[in-house]
Amino acid sequence: MVSPAIALAFIPFLVTLIIRYRHYFLLFYRAVLVRRLQDCLTGISREERAFQYVLTHAIPGDPHHILETFDQWCYHCEYLSNVGPHKGKILDRLIYENTPLTVLELGTYCGYATILMAQCLPMGARLYTVEMDPRNAAVAEKVIRLAGFDEDTVELIVGASEEVIPQLKEKHGLLKADFVFMDHWKRCYLRDLQLLEAHGLLLEGATIVADNVIFPGAPHFLQYVKTCGKYQCKMHRTSLEYFRAIPDGMAELTYTGLD
């Protein structure tokens, strides 16, 4: 049994730990504990609750207002791992600068980044977005259509990325992508990038943007793109979506096609 004196000696350490990492504790509380409580109380998923809020408060056919409504939900109700407004500005700028005609998104989630990119695309462009979770895909489908984007502009593909990527050419008609946004499981970033390379799906000069490469992080992915000689790399230092005090970053890659 631990003596009272030893227990008291640990109190300053614990207080320092809590103060130092309070933002991470708050993230855990909002992302995990609140979610589980609300799941039990409502009987529906957090993503479906967010959609109901958007459906009630957002203006149909107005992508910008739908994104703002999502942000209100995430700041004041429950946490969602959307790209968020601050990193969204970086993504928005990169779409405008590159004017891609074929965009591939890995990790649709609720459709936040899908809408953000779709509203910036030039005429005649097409966005393919891949989501492995059928429940999240169902929410995203409703959100994307609520924003006013039809299947000619945004095609939602349901399935695991490692299964979908090899089928993109033959089954979905995506010959080469000139812009890729990765925001799915971070451990899949490297594998899926190499799959895109292996199947010749990256146009020379294509831009690849990977979110959350600092938190929760994608170290093997970053090591590969910095050392393989196929990419020019740039890091955008920012913060975790809806948590300004937690450092994060987005990796911007330009595919040179050189080995």
Which of 73, 158, 63 is CA-nearest to residue 107? 158
The contacts of residue 135 (CB under 8 Å, 6+ apart) are 45, 47, 48
Instruction: Count Cα atoms within 13 angstroms, Cβ side, for 115.
Output: 29
Q: Is omega for the bond preceding 216 within 30 degrees of 0, making it cis?
A: yes
- Whole-angstrom distance, CA of residue 161 vs CA of residue 131: 8
Distance in angstroms (rounded) separating the CA atoms of residues 256 and 246: 32
Are the CB atoms for 203 and 176 separated by under 8 Å?
Answer: yes
CA-angle at 102, arms to 109 and 106, nearest 5°:
25
Q: Rounded to an integer, what distance in angstroms lies between the CA atom of residue 168 and that of residue 183?
A: 18
User: 249 by DSSP, 3-state: which?
Assistant: strand
**Cα(178)–Cα(176) distance, integer angstroms:** 7
- For the annotated catalytic residues, the residue numbers are 183, 186, 211-212, 241
